[in-house]
A and B are shown apart, each in its own frame.
Chain A
Amino acid sequence: MTATTSKTMTTHKKDPLVRIVRRESMPLWKSVMVRVIAVVASLLVSGVIIYLLTGASPIKVYGSMLQGAFGNSPANYSQKTWITVRDTMMLLCIAVGLAPAFKMKFWNIGAEGQVLVGGIATAACMIYLKNLPPVLLFICMVGASLLAGAIWGLLPAVFKAKWDTNETLFTLMMNYVALQLTSFCVAKWENPIGSNKVGIINQGAANQQGWFPAIFGQDYMLNVIIVMALTVGMFFYLKYSKQGYEIAVIGDSQNTARYAGISVKKVIIRTMLISGAICGLAGFITVSGSAHTISTSTAGGKGFTAIIVAWLAKFNTFTMILIALLITVLDKGAIQVATEFNISKDMSNMITGIILFFIIGSEFFINYKLIFRKKEKEVA
């Protein structure tokens, strides 16, 4: 704009058409509504895509999705539901482990690896220590998986605390180190030889050393008990403990933390030990409590999905239950749809992706509001 052209302008200053303003607050019901709308919209979009691909009516598709998650006949209601619950717990457990790190604004992208090393440690105990008394064996498995996960979390934390090494990239790389370590162990422990699979460890009704015992006749009840205890425990830890308070202060401002006499380095390291250990425990739950084997797909991308769960739940572990359930139901449902309509079951990842895009995008409307330019009176 030059001096000559600007002369023709009036003193009225033009605002942009839309202004984005940070929202101070939004009532709970409203923010819930925004998210519900986002989920519904994403389901509609996915429905259209499924319709275009399969030609089946979306209603029918959603019906079979529910059947996929919760069963389609009295014979398998319970079984299917329990599998959904089991997988929800696994996802939830990792998200709960990530919560303290994220609350501290430490980007632990390494859950996948932490789960894997926890799983390796568990499987090692199951293989090498199977002759121990069950109680001792379980103590070893829990201890080993916690330790393995903690070490995987500790490394990036130490470098972050001391030299400010980028933790996002560091933890990301650690995933693949863990993945190769898993491949190494799989090759070492393969059974039968040449299969490149570990196979079910301690198989046979008489064995099953290191398997979760059934509780109330349910194989996965122990999974639920452990993860729910962690969920509740983490909620109180973050909200009411002194350490949780320190985490929150550092997450808000490291300067304030120093002013308050909090040792930022110490808290970063301590928190990542906890975060890694819980993710390691998730590996224990998977190996001992459901898969009874170890493979490179033991974590199966859940370490990444859990990051999204933890972030969307805003570190509230109870909200995580809902989001983890939603994602797992979608996943199971999409696999069912794929089977029923004879298409690839990888559709589930596509649908999950679409739904997450919508939920991620909807956060904007909770945090910001749009102000459209009003017709203002010309001020001369």
Chain B
Amino acid sequence: MDNNIAVSMKHITKAFGTKVVANKDVSMDIRKGEILALLGENGSGKTTLMNMLSGIYHQDSGQIFVEGQEVHITSPKDAYELGIGMIHQHFKLVDVLTATENVALGMDKKKAKNNRVIAKAIEEICDKYGFDVDPKKKVYNMTVSQKQTLEIVKTLYRGANILILDEPTAVLTPQETDKLFAVLRNMKADGKSIIIITHKLHEVLAISDRVSILRKGEYIGTVKTSEATVQSLTEMMVGQKVELDIERPEVENKELRLQIEHLTCLDKYGVTALDDVSLDAFSGEILGIAGISGSGQKQLLESIAGLQEAQPGSSIVYINPETGAKEQIIGKDVTQIKKMGVALSFVPEDRLGMGLVGTMGMTDNMMLRSYKKGHSIFADRKAPHDLAVKVKEELEVVTPGLQTPVRRLSGGNVQKVLVGREIAAQPTVLMAAYAVRGLDINTSYTIYRLLNEEKKKGTAVIYVGEDLDVLLALCDRIAVLCDGKLNGVVDARTATKEEVGELMTHLKEEGVSADDGNDK
């Protein structure tokens, strides 16, 4: 066996339940002293694969070899013992403790040293690789970047030789990213193996030695970064265009419905999530929003729904279809927007956490948007009941009964309940985010059909999706977000998959106007 191989994964398969296969017969190697980029779209199984190395999951079949010996990793502790450490997207840190205390947490008695010794060790690690961590600083005072650094230091202190970073740059500014890459290179020079999970092509090209690509849970191949280009990687990542049999009616009665100008929002960490986005939505059209997850889709939709605060200078104007009056949405809350006569139907990403009340049945969930109707102090249950019956029949919702709490339904049925309710409100603007995530083919097609019906009725539909094939087949125009910026708007009837994929992953030069996407 090659002495240069740090970890070898052979024929790894992992399924969740009976339907979803996250990884299918994946084999790959990680060499010593290299930075390997693990590239793939959302849902391609990158994180699941790495979670098996770090002891979060256990593979259904297949073998893992570390230093040529077969190992069985059943817990994060096992992984640590083997020198494998993973930095997850959600940091595992205790906010009110200091950096040193977080590093010391849960250590074995044998290794348990006093805080001064640990603080000194932290400083040594920092000096060695160029980190910047204040051992006495409390985690809640740290920036996201500092927390991430602390996670890496913690992993190194515990003796990791193989570091896995799950989308480490998602939460960082460009400057912080540069700093991170610098220390990663230092660690590589020290002989550590680093796996960086990402879907940002320019980062892959900037930092990695080799790139392994996953697509829909399957291993596509590994190439040397020096021999790869943006185009070649995009092709491997998105694959051949798959022809989908989705109906696409022609756009009729196209009227301006929403006019978004200079929309800028911050995420909950105060990082700019949406940067000066200007975009129009028209009636009778489906506007697709493409982008790697976390590129600002959530903030875009929530701004329109009145759930997200926008920065000064942002504007979202709604043009009333009946009167033609222009109404400013920003600065109003959900109820006010509703009262203005603006009908926004919003299918949030987190179906159970926000769109539906998990402990309530279908009927009660139908009421969520309409329960205030009428002057009686009692809520009208007749109409929601009828609606629930209608949704159940028309969308073939599988539920033991209308009173069964919706959290007991399967993901597809939950989604049908949500979309069914939103459409029933007869919106003039319908927003749907990841409406088919986790759904089977038939249910997905039901959703597409419903969206198309809305489009024919003259609704302005905004569809945030992750499957490029679907976006290209369903939408009329596709706006592509990249790093919170609008990186281009393409005509979905003529654009190619590679074109969109590149816009998603590779930010164009500043100053390029959004409409240039059509020229490519």
Contact = CB atoms under 8 A, between A and B. Distances in A.
A/B: CB atoms within 8 Å of each other: yes
Contacts of A9: 72
Which of B77, B338, B357 has most chain A Cβ within 10 Å?
B357
Given A1-B81, A25-B408, A256 B368 contact: yes
Contacts of B358: 252-253
A260 B379 CA distance: 15
B371 A245 contact: yes
Nearest to B82: A3
A376 interface: no
B378 interface: yes
A27 interface: no
Nearest to A24: B408
A2 B81 contact: yes
A6 interface: yes
B20 to A, nearest CB: 20
B275 to A, nearest CB: 25
A242 B379 contact: yes
B379 A261 contact: no
B66 A3 contact: yes
Contacts, number: 87
A283 B350 CA distance: 45
Contact of A259 (B69, B355, B364): B355
B353 interface: yes
A243 B72 CA distance: 55
A255 B348 CA distance: 11
Contacts of B81: 1-3
B346 interface: yes
B78 A1 contact: yes
A252 B359 contact: yes
B377 interface: yes
Contacts of B348: 259
B381 interface: yes
A7 B73 CA distance: 10
A249 interface: yes
Interface residues of B, number: 41
Contacts of A24: 408
A256 B334 contact: no
A9 B408 CA distance: 37
A245 B66 contact: no
Given A1-B81, A255-B353, A260 B378 contact: no
Contacts of B359: 248, 252
A24 B77 CA distance: 32
A252 B360 contact: yes
Interface string A185-215: 0000000000000000000000000000000
A369 interface: no
Contacts of B371: 242, 245-246
Contacts of B335: 261, 263
B385 to A, nearest CB: 13
B357 A241 contact: no
Contacts of B74: 1, 6, 13
Contacts of B354: 253, 255-256, 259
Contacts of B346: 259
Interface string B373-387: 000111101000000
B70 interface: yes
Interface in A234-252: 236, 240-246, 248-249, 252
B379 A245 contact: yes
Contacts of A373: none
A6 B77 CA distance: 12
B66 A261 contact: no
Contacts of B357: 248-249, 252-253, 256
A258 interface: yes
Nearest to A1: B78
A7 B70 contact: yes
A249 B72 contact: no
Nearest to B359: A252
A342 interface: no
A260 B408 contact: no
A73 interface: no
A3 B69 contact: yes
Interface string B276-315: 0000000000000000000000000000010100000000
Interface string B169-192: 000000000000000000000000
Nearest to B380: A242
Contacts of B350: 255
A253 B334 contact: no
Interface in B78-119: 78, 81-82
Interface in A1-30: 1-3, 6-7, 9, 11, 13, 24-25
B493 interface: no
Interface string B392-407: 0000000000000000
A363 B58 CA distance: 33
A13 B307 contact: no
B72 A6 contact: yes
Contacts of A244: 379
A278 to B, nearest CB: 17
B72 A11 contact: yes
Given A1-B77, A255-B354, A261-B338, A248 B360 contact: yes
Interface in B314-372: 333-335, 338, 346, 348, 350, 353-360, 364, 367-369, 371-372
Contacts of A236: 378
A261 B333 contact: yes
B71 interface: yes
B372 A242 contact: yes
Contacts of A3: 66, 69, 71, 81-82
A167 B20 CA distance: 43
A250 to B, nearest CB: 10
Nearest to B400: A25
A325 to B, nearest CB: 28
A253 B353 contact: yes
B359 to A, nearest CB: 5
A256 B351 CA distance: 9
A212 to B, nearest CB: 29
Nearest 9 pairs between A and B by C-beta? A261-B334, A261-B335, A242-B379, A252-B357, A260-B368, A255-B354, A6-B72, A259-B354, A240-B378
Interface of A: 1-3, 6-7, 9, 11, 13, 24-25, 236, 240-246, 248-249, 252-253, 255-256, 258-261, 263
Given A3-B66, A242-B372, A261-B335, 10 more contacts: A6-B78, A9-B72, A24-B408, A248-B360, A255-B353, A259-B307, A260-B368, A260-B369, A261-B333, A261-B334
Interface of B: 58, 66, 69-72, 74-75, 77-78, 81-82, 305, 307, 333-335, 338, 346, 348, 350, 353-360, 364, 367-369, 371-372, 376-379, 381, 408
